[in-house]
Chains A and B, each alone.
Chain A
Amino acid sequence: MEHSSLAGRIFRGVALSLILIFFMFPIVWIFLMSFQNNDQILRIPPRILFEPTLANYEALISGQLRTAAGNLQISFMRNLFNSVVLSSAAVLLALLLGVPAAYAFARFKFRLGETIAFTLLSFRFAPPLLVLLPLSLYYQELGLNDTYFGIVWVYQLIALPLILWIVRGYFEDISPDIEHAYRLAGHSWREAFTRIAVPLAGPGIAAAGLLSFIFCWNNFVFALILASADKQPVTVGALAFVTASGIQYGQIAAAIVLSVTPTLLLALYAQRYLVEGLSLGAVKG
């Protein structure tokens, strides 16, 4: 770094700024929009300076959407709560199932092992719409339609393969002899898994959990088809802002800010674990 010329440094600074602006601008703009009313948002040319209003947030939190056509009930906070519950539960379940499975795939060779692992991965690249129709029929038969459990279950299609494949790689990076040494010192196989393998793969597990949380959070179609209003997450709930009297840009912006914040905070918080995860890759040597 210190060897680069002045021109190089300037170029790098400019390039970084451009990239940053490119990616940050929409977020900043949404943030600003969330403090404006529809008139302010839609005026041309747009202005950076405006009189901020908290009306959008107020409407979201109180659940009263005031439009030109009258008052409208929305359940945004309920949706946000659903998102948190559904995503957390889905990731938790996927971790409970996926981490031991990943360990098994990493450590043991068994019949059809690779086939099973690949089948699980294929859930990830099959288009969701492909499975949705039969799934919704099944769900109706089984009574899983419009239940939290049903959605958490279908979210496993998103979270489980992700966790399985990421965590498997981390387990494979840990020398099995570390666990062997621990077992020889008088510990059972189970203890070696919980006390040695899982902590060593911890950063990887955290990263996989975080990623699958974000993917679950962002999911739209599963909940759209399989859940009704009171079980729907924010992604589906945002549809309510398209009203008979127009699109409520201000409220949409506020809703986006509120719904992005949890994942953003989580990602910022987990960032250091992700970095730690990279440096712990040096376990082997």
Chain B
Amino acid sequence: MDMLELRGIDKVYRSRGKPPVHAVRALDMAVEKGEIVALLGSSGCGKTSTLRMIAGFEDVSAGSIALGGRRIHELPPARRKVAMAFEGYSLYPPLTVRENIAFALKSAQLSRSEVTRRVEEIARLVEIEDILDGYPRAISGGQQQRVSLARALVRDADLYLLDEPMGQLEPQLRAVLRGRIKSLLAERGMTAIFVTHDQTEASALADRIAVMEGGVLQQFASEKELKGRPANLFVASFIGEPPMNLLDAEVTRSDGGFRLSVGTDMGFNIGGAGLDNAAAKALAGTPQVRIGIRPQKVAVGTGDVRVKVVSNQWLGDQSHVAGDCGGRMLIAVTPGRVAARPGDTIQFALEPHHLHIFGSDGSCIRHAEVS
């Protein structure tokens, strides 16, 4: 069942004397009950605007929002049954940490002992038990962020909105909290949407990731799907670390298939089983494509692509090798050490079935085969 349904959402900010800013365009998205969704994108991509429209602090310029079957986009925030943790924490300064968290439960009309129990439970989860009686002013940014998170999670709501929920935390604590919050959300079947620009966080916490750019939802899928079957060039280059190698290639026909040539140094024969009808048709209609290959799929030490090593870094568990091939940069990631110095010439192997092919408009023509 869809818990949250966004239909044709548009957001345009208009201010006098400035051109209108189209922050979100024609956004359609459905989130299932109990699902954890990440809104991932760079700054200004519309992810926080989306969150605030769901919470009700921004009007939708067009479109509709339904939560649990209720049309909520015309309701005031108080009646939407949504809990939110704000990026700027937004704690109530005159109240203690404990009161701040308990405050969120006030309208639920619980007994005092039940409130205390819930507050302490959530405080344990985010490790703020020792500062419960402090005031927001007196605690650090990381602690304030956890209080803000606790204040949102302690509530009974249909939907939990978390704006950069862990941005201020130290890496270790972040990893621990991620796990705990994920199991809390899963255990209680809570539906949550969180905004982040951190891919690791998105893939660690979310069931599905919505990648946004320029106010447009690029792809909404699991992390595996985003990596393996990116919908377009943007997703392909945005997701993955290090980013996908992207090269311009010319398309020519060759015995029953196509040949994609990158300059004079590289060429790939694509055809037969690796190409469905639609892809073949698309390739036939375009002289130029962009091809992409994940650095993890580039084999080092074999193959027919000769590159001049630009850098070779051993990261403790994998090597990142950057090679120059006729003015084009290729990155390869391999699990072992590579004995090559900058300036050496080594071989890279790029297999045709690992190639993602994108048309000149950025749309995907063919995904790499899943091996």
Contacts and interface: CB of A to CB of B under 8 A. Distances in A.
Chain A contact residues: over half helix, strand or loop, or mixed? helix
A41 interface: no
Interface string B46-71: 00000000011100000000000000
Nearest to B81: A186
Task: Please classify how large the interface on chain B is, using the bins under 10, 10 to 19, 20 to 34, 35 or more.
Answer: 20 to 34
A178 interface: yes
A138 interface: no
Contact of A180 (B79, B90, B103): B90
B63 to A, nearest CB: 21
A180 B86 CA distance: 9
Contact of B77 (A175, A180, A280, A283): A180
A180 B92 contact: no
A185 B107 contact: yes
A280 B106 CA distance: 25
Contacts of A109: 15-16
Nearest to B77: A183
A257 B107 CA distance: 53
B137 A181 contact: no
Contacts of A196: 92
Nearest to B107: A186
Nearest to B161: A184
B110 to A, nearest CB: 13
A283 B79 CA distance: 27
A199 interface: yes
B151 A282 contact: no
Interface in A170-185: 175-178, 180-185
Interface in A157-214: 175-178, 180-189, 196, 199-200
A186 B106 CA distance: 9
B104 interface: yes
A71 to B, nearest CB: 58
Contacts of B93: 178, 200, 280, 283
A283 B137 CA distance: 7
B27 interface: no
Interface string B62-102: 00000000000000111110111011101111100000000
B94 A181 contact: no
B136 to A, nearest CB: 9
B366 interface: no
A62 B71 CA distance: 72
A184 B77 contact: yes
Contacts of A188: 76, 78
A184 B88 contact: no
B92 A282 contact: no
Contacts of B87: 177
Nearest to B94: A199
Given A180-B55, A180-B77, A185 B86 contact: no
Contacts of B56: 183-184
B94 A185 contact: no
B155 interface: yes
A187 B56 CA distance: 13
A181 B107 contact: no
A201 to B, nearest CB: 11
B170 to A, nearest CB: 19
B78 A186 contact: yes
A186 B103 CA distance: 11
A181 B86 contact: yes
B88 A185 contact: no
Interface in B116-158: 137, 151, 155
B76 A183 contact: yes
A203 to B, nearest CB: 11
Contacts of A186: 78-79, 106-107
B103 A185 contact: yes
Nearest to A112: B16
Nearest to A200: B93
A183 B75 CA distance: 12
B160 to A, nearest CB: 11
A184 B78 contact: yes
29 contacts: A175-B88, A175-B90, A177-B88, A177-B90, A178-B90, A180-B84, A180-B86, A181-B86, A181-B90, A181-B91, A181-B92, A181-B151, A182-B92, A183-B56, A183-B76, A184-B56, A184-B77, A184-B78, A184-B82, A184-B84, A185-B103, A185-B107, A186-B78, A186-B107, A188-B78, A189-B76, A196-B92, A199-B94, A283-B137
Given A184-B77, A184-B82, A200-B93, 18 more contacts: A175-B88, A177-B86, A180-B84, A180-B86, A181-B92, A181-B151, A183-B76, A184-B83, A184-B84, A185-B103, A185-B104, A185-B107, A186-B79, A186-B106, A186-B107, A189-B76, A199-B94, A283-B137
Interface of A: 109, 175-178, 180-189, 196, 199-200, 280, 282-283
Nearest 7 interchain pairs by C-beta: A186-B107, A177-B90, A177-B86, A183-B77, A178-B90, A181-B90, A186-B78
